Chains A and B, each alone.
Chain A
Amino acid sequence: MERIAIVGVGQTKHERRKRADSFADMVYEVTTKALADASMTIKDVDNVITVSNDFWDGRTISSMAVTDACGSNGKNVSTVEGDGTFGALYGMMRILSGYYGTTLVVSHLKGSESSMPHITNAMFDPVYERMLGLDSISSSALQARAYMDRYGITEEQCARVSVKNHKNAKNNPNAQVAMDITIDDVMKSRMLADPIKLYDCSPISDGACAIILANEKRAQKITKKPVWVRGVGYCAEAYHLGDRDLADPIALKAAAKKAYSMAGITNPRAEIDVAEIYDAFSYMELLWMEGLGLCEPGRAGRLVEQGVTEMGGELPINPSGGVLSAHTVLVAGLVRIVEAALQLRGDSGKRQVAGAKTALAHGINGPCGQSHCVWILGN
């Protein structure tokens, strides 16, 4: 594969409610930030991928809101509806096709403007399951219980993820929920759908994110600190919850295998220096760690207890605070890529993992992580 690099990144601060900014305002902000980061102008952008969702935006053809703001006028442009990691993937494919030297990928969402349970309920099949009223919290609780029962993962171990990530968020000026909490605080927080409690959940967020990808030739000219895409894998498994083994993330395993094989990684735990994982709920960080092969199935809880995934640990996970500290749906996967890229550039400020050379970023689509996208980046 031809070498592709991330040459520019930009994100808004993620907030509970961005009253002053429209979708276009947010997208314009991150587009200009990414261009400035890459010392490029919009003329240097060969094509654009926008990422949005008609349900969340309350609008058919949600991408129509941002065509001006992302500077796609007069350019080839397309829209991915799904997590931002998939948008970045399509942006990369378009460069690899030889048609373009650079791709701008932007994603926006305002969770504050709509209703999470209604929108995530619409993931469920109207023919069989939608009437049952499942949403992202209750369906994820089914997965959390299945996973915890299988391996004896405890609620305290999940709580530890929440404590760690909210603490990490204090080092991230763009995070939404940065706080010092204890395991006890998580355990005593309001029970929503057991075993998931309020502090096991990610917040509802507003924000946007942009990255600029370039082929090798352009990347060398644009920046002295290109972040190289070493591998990407993505895969989906069965849809109906009852058709799946919710405690075994087989699609993630397949996606990771592909990404690792492209990157030449044989021992991910040893070779990856920092990971940004889609922890929409605290248990997800543990389950996805196992799916990513960062530990044996059932061992992630112990790893977290041992501090392996903390800042300063052997493999820091979510130094940014993760999705638990800002869950701008669709945008969040792209933010994982940006955070991983900043780590590799050494531009992560107080959340920097010293000497990071290989980073992992991860996004999900569909109920209970039905579809996964895994990126391995290097500097």
Chain B
Amino acid sequence: MAKAKGGVEEMVLKGKIKVPYTWYVGECASRFYVELRDNKRIFGTKCAKCNKVIVPPRSSCGKCFVPITEWVEVKDTGVVQTYTVVHYAVPGIQPLKPPYAYGIIKLDGADTGFVHVIVGADLTALKAGTRVKAVFKEERQGNMLDIQYFTPV
């Protein structure tokens, strides 16, 4: 039994904050998720000022600070810009059992990186520049994990 500085037994209370959340993704992200769920298509928005195709889509450009209204479909293939293979487990947060990889992927047709998980036979062969393709879930719910993972092609 641990003793504090004053020699008294140190008591510990266990607790957990349990606050349920419901995030309204807004009209812009709703359109992205509906396309992902219903049509397995990935959409971005294109800023009229800097001409960048932003994926996942934003309703305004963070850099130009102007509203964006133009929608652009991008490919479900792309190039790994950076990656890491995760070897430690955090149950309840991680979508897959390690080892699996995270990558920032520049989808074909996009100007920004798309963060997702990468699964493949040989993750040690993963490199910046590796081409990957999205694998969609059979049962899609309208969230980021409707793309089950990307895999090297």
B105-145 CB contacts (< 8 Å) to partner A: 112-117, 128, 143-145
User: Given A20-B10, A243-B112, does the pair A131, B145 have CB atoms closer than 8 Å?
Assistant: yes
**Cross-chain contact B144 with A145 (CB below 8 angstroms):** no
Residues in B whose Cβ lies below 8 Å from that of A284: none
Complex-state Cα separation, A208 to B33, whole angstroms: 43
From A19, A131, A137, A195, B88 is in contact (CB under 8 Å) with A137
Let me know if B102 and A132 touch, CB within 8 A: yes
Q: A117 contacts which of B62, B90, B95, B143 (Cβ < 8 Å)?
A: B90
- CB atoms of A118 and B85 under 8 A apart: no
Do B117 and A132 have beta carbons less than 8 Å apart?
Answer: yes
Checking B25, B87, B102 against A191 with a beta-carbon cut-off of 8 angstroms, the contacting residue is B87
Contact of B81 with A146 in the complex, beta carbons under 8 Å:
yes
B54 interface residue per 8 A CB criterion: yes
Number of chain A interface residues as a range: 35 or more
**In chain A, residues 334-379, which have Cβ atoms closer than 8 Å to a Cβ of chain B?**
none
Q: Is A264 an interface residue (CB 8 A)?
A: no
Bound complex: CA A133 to CA B94 (Å): 4
Any chain B CB within 8 A of the CB of A241? yes
Q: How many of chain B's residues have a CB under 8 angstroms from any CB in A?
A: 45
* Nearest-Cβ distance from residue B38 to partner chain A, whole angstroms: 18
Residue from B4, B86, B116 within 8 A of A20 (CB atoms): B4
- Do A127 and B84 touch across chains, with their CB atoms under 8 A apart? no
Are B29 and A127 interface neighbours, CB within 8 A?
yes
Q: In the complex, are the beta carbons of B17 and A58 less than 8 A apart?
A: yes
Q: Is there an interface contact between A145 and B82, defined as CB atoms closer than 8 Å? A: yes
| A139, B104: Cα distance in complex, Å | 10
Contacts of A194 in B (CB 8 A): 84-85, 87
In the complex, whether B2 has a CB less than 8 A from a CB of chain A is yes
Bound: A323/B70 CA distance, A: 44
Cβ–Cβ < 8 Å partners of B17 in chain A: 58-59
Q: Which of B23, B117, B128 contacts A127 (CB 8 A)?
A: B23
Closest to A239 in B: B62
Most chain B CB atoms below 10 A, which of A58, A126, A240, A246: A240
| A156 at the B interface (CB under 8 A) | no
Known: A19-B10, A241-B113. A127 touches B90 (CB 8 A): no
| Complex interface: chain B residues within 8 A of A145 (CB) | 82-84, 128
Give Cα A135–Cα B25 distance, bound, in whole angstroms: 21
Q: Is the pair B115, A129 in contact by a Cβ cutoff of 8 Å?
A: yes
Could you list 11 A-B pairs, sorted by A, with CB under 8 Å?
Answer: A20-B5, A127-B25, A129-B144, A132-B117, A137-B88, A138-B84, A149-B128, A192-B88, A193-B87, A241-B104, A244-B113
Given A127-B29, A133-B96, A192-B86, 18 extra CB contacts under 8 A:
A19-B12, A59-B17, A117-B93, A127-B25, A128-B56, A131-B143, A132-B115, A134-B115, A138-B84, A139-B102, A142-B103, A146-B82, A192-B88, A193-B102, A194-B84, A195-B84, A242-B115, A243-B113
